[in-house]
Amino acid sequence: MRPVTPRGFRDVLFEEAAERRVLIAAVAEVFLRYAYRFVETPAVEEYATLEAAVDATVSGAAFRLVDLDGSLLALRPEMTLPIARLAAARLGGEIGPQRLCYAADVYREHASLRGESRQFTQLGVELLGVNGPASDAEVVCVLVDSLRGTGLVDFTVGVGTVAVLRALVSAAASTPDWGASLMAAAHSRNIVSFDALTATPGVPAPVGFALRSVVRIAGGREAIAACREAAGAVGCAASLDTLEAAWDLLEAAGVADMVRVDFGILRSFDYYTGLIVEAYAPGLGLPLGGGGRYDDLLAAFGAPMPAAGFALSLERVMIALAAQGVEVPVRGIDALVGGDPVACARACARLRMGGWLVQASATRDADALAREAREAGALYWADGGVGALTRLLDGATLPMEPLPAQRTLDARFADGGVR
């Protein structure tokens, strides 16, 4: 048998795996600074739970499987639903806002001819039990700071609200099929189909004009005023008030320069009720991540509460970093130690206790040890029997006694610090 990786999945080797760990840790640090707490959910959910809580867009992309009891299960296609289910089942009686975060793999089924990945890593937060401009602004701030934390330098976070489009669709007083088709065109950003649907006979001309105008409005604070004027009195004033108040908070937090109001944003899942947010990087045709407010989702589990959050795609963030020439700071080997086995074991143990990343070698020849260390990318090498570290950069030496803490060497050799 020839071993192969299943279609849509891939193996991740050393350097990329190390970069992934660094980026996950960097984003996790941002989450923790905002007082979010990590949770973990099973990789599978009851398919009936998935189907009852979300639309066909989500459930239709799920991997289905049957367990030995005959229960129909599904690999989680995204993380909002599992977090909502967890919150309803385990945190329904908790008082006050719940700030939850995660780093988890999700799985989505695609037809074989599409050639798309079927496993992704999502990093995200969910803010439960509170709504209003402050919570909306917090979600956007965490998203901006998370992207900054990865080292990404050129990105934009778009914010909007689904409430405006839904209010206009309701004002059109057309058929449910027409409304579903219009929202689907908006989801896929198919402007040609969207415009054609707004001109359908029976759609009031002012409403059709407003729909075509609103999805093209983008900018800063002035875009909110433009949307008010374009939408008119269709019942979305409260949502725009919330968005404008959130913008004030984004300015106060110093992140508004990374944010753009865009009423053309519409997430592909139908459970969003207000704020919509997406992050973009130049040259990447897909969002880095996104989310929004989904105040009705937890009601499906008998625990109604407001909620908002976002998820980042680790894989897309890595593509954007590579495109912008940003190197992920992966730590390499600090020292390679060889020589007499007993002396080598003693020296390796001493250095590892000091926080060093050390590779042991069976090589005994000093010149061969130096070559091996250079090939391994180590900063220092040592013959365990000598009791001194030799820096590859310029041959400087440092005794291994007393115990050399890593920070001591970093200070002494500042220009050759650990990568």
Per-residue pLDDT of the chain (419 residues; tens, 9 = 90+): 888 888 888 999 999 999 999 999 999 999 999 999 999 999 999 988 887 776 655 656 788 999 999 999 999 998 988 998 899 888 876 767 999 999 999 998 877 656 678 899 999 999 999 999 999 999 999 999 999 999 999 999 999 998 888 888 888 877 788 888 888 888 777 888 888 988 888 888 888 888 889 889 999 999 999 998 888 777 788 889 999 999 999 999 999 999 999 988 876 667 888 899 999 999 888 899 999 999 988 888 888 899 999 999 999 999 999 999 999 999 899 999 999 999 999 899 988 988 899 999 999 898 999 999 999 999 999 998 788 888 888 788 877 765 555 555 555 444 444 33
pTM of the entire predicted model: 0.88
- Tokens matching residue 383: 């013959």
What pLDDT is stored for residue 326 in this prediction? 94
User: Among residues 1, 24, 30, 2, which one has the least CA distance to residue 12?
Assistant: 24
Whole-number pLDDT of residue 114: 61
pLDDT of residue 415: 45
Strand partners, 103: 123
Whole-number pLDDT of residue 268:
61
Buried b (16+ CB within 10 A) or exposed e, 169-205: bebbebeeebbebbbbbbeeeeeeebeebbeeeebee
Q: Which residue has the tokens 């037809």?
A: 111
- Are 246 and 144 a contacting pair, CB within 8 Å? no
Residue with tokens 């993380």: 79
Question: Measuring CA to CA, which residue among 60, 89, 45, 116 is closest to residue 313?
Answer: 116
For residue 65, the cross-strand partners are 73
- pLDDT score for 406: 56
Could you give all domains of the chain from N- to C-terminal order, each with its CATH number?
14-157+255-323 (3.30.930.10), 335-416 (3.40.50.800)
Tokens of 367: 């010149």
pLDDT value of position 35: 97
Cα torsion at 338, 342, 345, 347 (round to 10°)?
Answer: -70
Q: How far is CA 325 from the centre of its chain?
A: 20
pLDDT number for residue 418: 38
What SS3 string covers the chain? CCCCCCCCCCCCCHHHHHHHHHHHHHHHHHHHHCCCEECCCCCEEEHHHHHHHCCHHHHCCCCEEECCCCCEEEECCCCHHHHHHHHHHHCCCCCCCEEEEEEEEEECCCCHHHCCCCEEEEEEEEEECCCCHHHHHHHHHHHHHHHHHHCCCCCEEEEEEHHHHHHHHHHHCCCHHHHHHHHHHHHCCCHHHHHHHHCCCCCCHHHHHHHHHHCCCEECHHHHHHHHHHHCCCCCHHHHHHHHHHHHHHHHHCCHHHEEEECCCCCCCCCCCCEEEEEECCCCCCCCEEEEECCCHHHHHCCCCCEEEEEEEHHHHHHHHHHCCCCCCCCCCCEEEECCHHHHHHHHHHHHHCCCCEEECCCCCHHHHHHHHHHHCCCEEEECCCCEEEECCCCCEEECCCCCCHHHHHHHCHHHCCC
Largest distance between two CA atoms of the chain: 89
| Single-letter code of the amino acid located at 196 | A
Output the CA–CA distances (angstroms, integers) from residue 201 to 164, 174, 205, 210, 232, in the order listed.
22, 10, 9, 16, 21
